Amino acid sequence: MNIRFLGHAALEIKIGNKILIVDPFISGNPKQNNINVDQIKADYILLTHAHQDHTLDVEKIANKQKTTIISNFEVVTYYQNKGFQGHPMNHGGAWTFDFGYLKYVNAIHTSSFADGSYGGQPGGFVLTAKDKSVYIAGDTALTYDMKLIGDQFDLDLAILPIGDNFTMGIDDAVLASDFVKCNNVLGYHYDTFGFIEIDHNMAKKKFSEKNKNLTLLEIGEELKI
């Protein structure tokens, strides 16, 4: 599995010949550099919740014939009403897709579209493919529900928000990595806006002090697991 950081909470995940885009917010990212949203293709778009910093570029990237949008029922219905294809899920539910096994899991946050439409309840995903499991937390507070993920999956990577203010900060993300029983963490949802700027060295130190590894990627940089 190849995971490319597209900035903020946006990811491109390649599994075999399938491309999954997670929470695309590229064209509006003030830190965006040379990622051209028009060149991004997706077989699937996974959306953790409806907030604009996770959905801004969905309609630019999604091909009405070829792309399946996966999210909670309300988010998927919103896009289906605009003519896009979707696969609705809800919390605790899992489905086997042609790229792998995907479970929609709990998150503590909110979810509304920029136009005020209801975006259901926010979530995260556990993705299992090619003998690897990755937890994509989405925007969330630290929650004991994360212990269920640690009990049920043998994670290779936990992708956790670390920017604080709107989500967990670094200290809570260290605890989240205990709860999900995964010491290999990719941080996201930081530095994009003033409220979520972090000290990278401090963040890495707090993880390494607990014998954990925090990876922070440059926009466009890739991680293989």
Q: Which of residues 36-55 bind Ni ion (CB under 5 A)?
A: 51
For residue 137, the minimal CB distance to Ni ion (Å) is: 11
Name residues contacting Ni ion, limited to 102-161 (CB under 5 A): 139
Binding residues for Mn ion, rule: CB under 5 A, are 53, 139
Whichever of 14 and 91 has its CB closer to Ni ion, that residue is 91
Distance between start and end Cα atoms, the chain: 6
Distance in angstroms (rounded) separating the CA atoms of residues 67 and 76:
12
Q: How far apart are CA 188 and CA 140, in angstroms?
A: 12
Shortest reach from residue 48's CB to Ni ion, in Å:
8
Nearer to Mn ion, 19 or 107 (CB): 107
- Which residue lies nearer to Ni ion by CB, 19 or 47? 47
Q: Considering beta carbons, is residue 52 or 152 the nearer one to Mn ion?
A: 52
Taking the CB of residue 188, how many other CB atoms lie within 10 A of it?
A: 29
Closest CA to 8 of 63, 55, 50: 55
Minimum CB–partner distance for residue 92 and Mn ion (Å): 22
Closer residue to Ni ion, CB minimum distance, 51 or 212 = 51
Q: How far is the CB of 43 from Mn ion (least distance, A)?
A: 24
- Size, binding site for Ni ion by CB under 5 A: 2
Cite the beta strand spans of 62-215 per DSSP E: 68-72, 85-89, 94-96, 101-106, 123-129, 132-136, 157-161, 184-188, 213-215
Distance between CA atoms of residues 88 and 24, nearest Å = 18
Select the residue whose beta carbon is closest to Ni ion and give its number. Answer: 51
At what angle are helices 170-179 and 200-208 packed, to 10 degrees?
A: 30
Q: Which residues bind Ni ion (CB under 5 A)?
A: 51, 139
